[in-house]
């Protein structure tokens, strides 16, 4: 414990000591955006990604990250209304997609996942999804993709406050509030989101005779989210940002569709994270310090099954990165990091502690007047005294014409066993495995981007072919040699290949603006060396997925329609979930109210009244409605 406390104190004081020694004569002004990102993000070359536009972010204030990404065409796995929700890309499972906040990987050290339903959308003003993994940039778990969450440009934002309220079917009530105050050198921002819901939506129960119309039961939820950001400009060459967020989720676990007895299960999650990011631009190089502390606490109770479980995890993260320009159009980034994973559970054989030390380097080169960009990177990690295999990546982008760019990338990745995998105590039904090896794999992309400038807008198209392979996949299966106990082991490997296409169109003038996007993903994903399931499609992975949105703004009015389609998905070696089409629509009107900006909106979820399930046996709502009111009081400057 003294060692951990010492690390925390040292993490806080070390950047300050170094900063005090930096010359105040250096006058290179650092870009504020750099404070929130790692330098390595700019070295992700040749990959396929999309960024959620600002209108959609605004429209989804008061809702969670799972709902936003679902509307954008991402593959979301949700255990009922407001239940455990995760994202899975390119045929991988949820533990193979990293969720990164201000450069910090939020994947739980206990189970490897991130519950997106616990993250209110309004806490972040930049959300980007990268398809394809890159272990050299983001470390363990970034195998199939990365969700990048950030807060940006706090010093440049105008001072002001905003409040809003939402009410909808399922007795859903919500409140959002945010405020920012500061100068060009010091700024503070606070954001809050609160949601209370009974979630007793109607659904058609296909698991019971006659397909009766019923209401979802035992799905009540209370969610609170709070985020604070402080940005400080130190002289002309340094920026220091402090961030902290807190989420509290009290959620009943809804009754299964096939059950004739109501569920009495409840889960409470309390999570918080603190981070410090210091960026300094010196005369010959740049330096960045990142420190973070992540704490997660979970309690699960089911009186019917007599199950009571308490779980807690902590992470302490310290990193330093250096960036230096070399030659005329090249730069090198190098860094080292130290992470301590700690966990405590009623189901563990003992308290778990894992030490990880990583080192990485990346280089970007630009040739032929920057028409060709090449990036290479390498990473290694020491885990509890043992080295894992080195991972590497490379990417290239070629500007053939002003309207056409070719791109390609390849990367190796890895995922460490979770602490649940390693430390689960032996019971009548399950047992952990301390001898697990890390998963490892590789992926490669190749494609092209096309951009056409229009008189009052732009049309862009991105097409990518990808292939991914993962080996030593950790799977929990019954062990016939140990009384049928469920155990994790490095059983199998998976292969995925497919095509991704993204089309975006925007055009506008002072009075009217149109934004439309369309995405299509074809995924051929199979798993091997896993008994009777050998050579069959991975579960819950649709072969075809389409997502699209259309927004129109005119004279204060705006309308947004989003649509997502997923084809059949296997749930095991014999059963499938049928395809679904989901549409959501929001109509909004912006107006002035006592000198302030205000908006009122009305929305319809599941416009086409689709009967569907994202996870087998968990009901999802039929058509439902909501109304929202927002008021914004804003200063004209940051002062």
Q: Are 263 and 304 in contact (CB under 8 A)?
A: yes
Confidence label for 7 from pLDDT (cuts 50, 70 and 90): very low
**Percentage, residues of the chain above pLDDT 70:** 92
Assess whether pLDDT exceeds 90 at residue 151.
no
DSSP, collapsed to helix, strand or coil, labels residue 124 as coil
Task: Kindly state the percentage of the chain with pLDDT values over 90.
Answer: 67
Q: Is residue 217 predicted with pLDDT exceeding 90? A: yes
Average of per-residue pLDDT across 239-266: 94
Give the per-residue pLDDT at 635.
63
Task: Give the model's pLDDT for residue 13.
Answer: 39
Task: Return the H-helix or E-strand segment holding 507.
Answer: strand 485-508
Using alpha carbons only, give the angle 371, 372, 377 rounded to the nearest 5 degrees. Answer: 145
pLDDT band at 365 (very low <50, low <70, confident <90, very high): very high
Q: What does the pLDDT average to over 569-586? A: 91
Question: No. of H helices and E strands in the chain?
Answer: 5, 35
pTM of the model: 0.90
Question: How sure is the predictor about 596, in pLDDT bands with cuts at 50, 70 and 90?
Answer: confident
Q: Residue 247 — pLDDT band, cuts 50, 70, 90?
A: very high
Residue 235 has pLDDT above 90, yes or no: no
Cα dist from 492 to 313, 392, 469, 474, whole Å: 28, 23, 11, 7
What is the overall mean pLDDT for the chain? 88
Q: What is the C-alpha to C-alpha distance for residues 51 and 66, in angstroms, rounded to an integer? A: 15
Q: How far apart are CA 176 and CA 191, in angstroms?
A: 8
Give tens-digit pLDDT for 308-356. 999 999 999 999 999 998 887 889 999 999 999 999 999 999 999 999 9
Distance (Å, whole) CA 562 – CA 583? 6
pLDDT of 566 higher than 70: yes
Q: Does 389 score more than 70 pLDDT?
A: yes
The average pLDDT across 222-246 equals 92
Mean pLDDT computed over 173-197: 94
Residue 35: pLDDT over 60: no
DSSP 461-484: EEEEEEEEEEEEEEEEEEEGGGTT
Three-state secondary-structure class, residue 304: coil
Q: Is the pLDDT of residue 133 over 70?
A: yes
Residues 6+ positions from 86 with CB-CB distance below 8 Å: 76, 77, 94, 97, 113, 114, 115, 116
Assign 386 a pLDDT band (cuts: 50, 70, 90): very high
Most confident region among 24-28, 283-287, 471-475, 566-570 by mean pLDDT: 566-570
Residue 42 above 80 pLDDT?
Answer: no
Question: Average pLDDT for residues 415-441, to the nearest whole number?
Answer: 92
CATH top-level class of 39-634: mainly beta
The pLDDT, as a whole number, for residue 342 is 97
pLDDT value at residue 284:
85
Instruction: Using pLDDT thresholds of 50, 70 and 90, give the confidence band for residue 636.
Output: low
- Does the pLDDT of residue 504 top 60, yes or no? yes
Which tops the pLDDT comparison, 292 or 8? 292
8-17, 65-74, 373-382 — most confident range: 373-382
Does residue 6 surpass a pLDDT of 60?
Answer: no
- Confidence class for position 117, pLDDT limits 50, 70, 90: very high
Lowest mean pLDDT among 21-35, 185-199, 618-632: 21-35
Return the SS3 of 490. Answer: strand
Rounded Cα distance between 422 and 434, Å, is 5
Strands of the sheet containing 145-150, edge to edge, are 48-51, 126-131, 145-150, 97-101, 104-105
Q: Can you name the residues that pair with 632 across neighbouring β-strands?
A: 162, 597
Closest CA to 135 of 541, 457, 412, 347: 412
Task: Taking residues 87-97, report their average pLDDT.
Answer: 90
Q: Using DSSP, state whether 393 is helix, strand or coil.
A: strand
- Strand, coil or helix: 282: coil
pLDDT for the residue 567: 95
DSSP character string of 154-215 = TTTSPPEEEEEEEEETTTEEEEEEEEEEE-SSEEEEEEEEEEEE----EEE-TTSTT--EEE
Indicate the DSSP class of residue 418: P
Would you state the pLDDT for residue 62? 84
Q: How confident is the model at residue 54 (pLDDT cuts 50, 70, 90)?
A: confident
Name every residue whose Cβ is closer than 8 Å to that of residue 404 and which is 6 or more positions away in sequence. 448, 449, 450, 451
Quick one: average pLDDT of 200-220? 94
Q: What is the enclosing helix (H) or strand (E) of 238?
A: strand 238-252
């Amino acid at each position: 414990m003294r060692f951990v406390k010492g690390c925390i104190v040292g993490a806080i004081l070390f950047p300050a000591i170094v900063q005090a020694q930096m010359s105040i004569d250096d006058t290179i002004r650092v870009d504020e955006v750099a404070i929130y990102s790692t330098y390595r993000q700019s070295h992700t070359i040749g990959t396929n990604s999309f960024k959620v536009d600002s209108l959609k972010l605004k429209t989804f204030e008061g809702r969670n990250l799972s709902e936003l990404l679902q509307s954008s065409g991402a593959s979301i796995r949700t255990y009922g209304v407001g239940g455990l929700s995760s994202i899975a890309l390119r045929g991988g499972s949820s533990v193979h997609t990293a969720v990164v906040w201000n450069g910090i990987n939020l994947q739980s050290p206990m189970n490897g996942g991130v519950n997106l339903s616990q993250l209110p959308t309004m806490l972040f003003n930049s959300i980007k999804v990268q398809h394809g993994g890159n272990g050299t940039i983001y470390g363990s778990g970034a195998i199939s993709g990365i969700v990048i969450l950030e807060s940006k440009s706090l010093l440049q934002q105008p001072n002001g406050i905003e409040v809003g309220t939402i009410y909808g079917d399922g007795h859903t009530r919500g409140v959002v509030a945010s405020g920012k105050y500061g100068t060009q050198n010091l700024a503070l921002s606070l954001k809050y989101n609160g949601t209370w819901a009974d979630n007793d939506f109607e659904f058609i129960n296909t698991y019971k005779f006659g397909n009766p119309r019923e209401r979802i039961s035992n799905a009540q939820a209370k969610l609170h989210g709070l985020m604070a950001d402080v940005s400080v400009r130190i002289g002309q060459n340094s920026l220091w940002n402090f961030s902290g967020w807190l989420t509290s989720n009290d959620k009943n676990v809804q009754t299964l569709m096939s059950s004739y007895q109501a569920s009495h299960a409840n889960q409470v999650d309390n999570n918080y994270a603190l981070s410090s990011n210091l960026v300094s631009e010196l005369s010959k190089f740049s330096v960045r310090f990142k420190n973070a502390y992540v704490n997660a606490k979970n309690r699960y109770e089911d009186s019917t099954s007599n199950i009571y479980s308490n779980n807690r995890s902590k992470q302490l993260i310290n990193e330093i990165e250096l960036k230096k320009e070399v030659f005329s159009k090249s730069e090198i980034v190098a860094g080292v990091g130290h992470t301590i994973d700690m966990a405590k559970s009623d189901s563990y054989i003992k308290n778990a502690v894992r030490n990880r030390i990583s080192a990485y380097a990346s280089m970007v080169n630009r040739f032929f007047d920057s028409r060709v960009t090449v990036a290479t990177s390498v990473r290694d990690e020491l885990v509890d005294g043992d080295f894992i295999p080195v991972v590497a990546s490379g990417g290239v982008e070629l500007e053939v014409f002003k309207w056409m760019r070719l791109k390609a990338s390849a990367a190796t990745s890895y995922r460490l066993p979770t602490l649940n995998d390693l430390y689960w105590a032996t019971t009548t039904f399950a047992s952990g495995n301390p001898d697990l090896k890390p998963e490892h794999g590789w992926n490669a992309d190749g494609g092209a981007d096309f951009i056409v400038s229009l008189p009052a807008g732009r049309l862009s198209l991105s097409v990518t072919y990808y292939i991914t392979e993962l080996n030593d996949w950790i799977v929990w299966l019954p062990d016939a040699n140990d009384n049928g106990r469920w155990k994790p082991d490095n059983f199998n490997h998976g292969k995925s290949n497919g095509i991704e296409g993204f089309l975006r169109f925007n055009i506008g003038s002072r009075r009217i603006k149109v934004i439309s996007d369309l995405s299509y993903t074809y995924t051929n994903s199979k798993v091997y060396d896993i008994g009777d399931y050998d050579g069959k499609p991975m579960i819950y992975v649709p072969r075809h997925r389409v997502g699209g949105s259309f927004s129109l703004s005119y004279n204060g009015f705006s309308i947004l329609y989003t649509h997502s389609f997923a084809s059949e998905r296997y749930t095991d070696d014999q059963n499938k979930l049928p395809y679904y089409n989901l549409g959501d629509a929001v109509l909004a009107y912006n107006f002035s109210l006592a000198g302030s900006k205000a908006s009122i909106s009305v929305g319809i979820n599941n416009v086409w009244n689709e009967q569907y399930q994202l996870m087998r046996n968990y009901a999802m709502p039929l058509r439902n409605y909501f109304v929202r009111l927002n008021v914004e009081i804003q200063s004209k400057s940051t002062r």
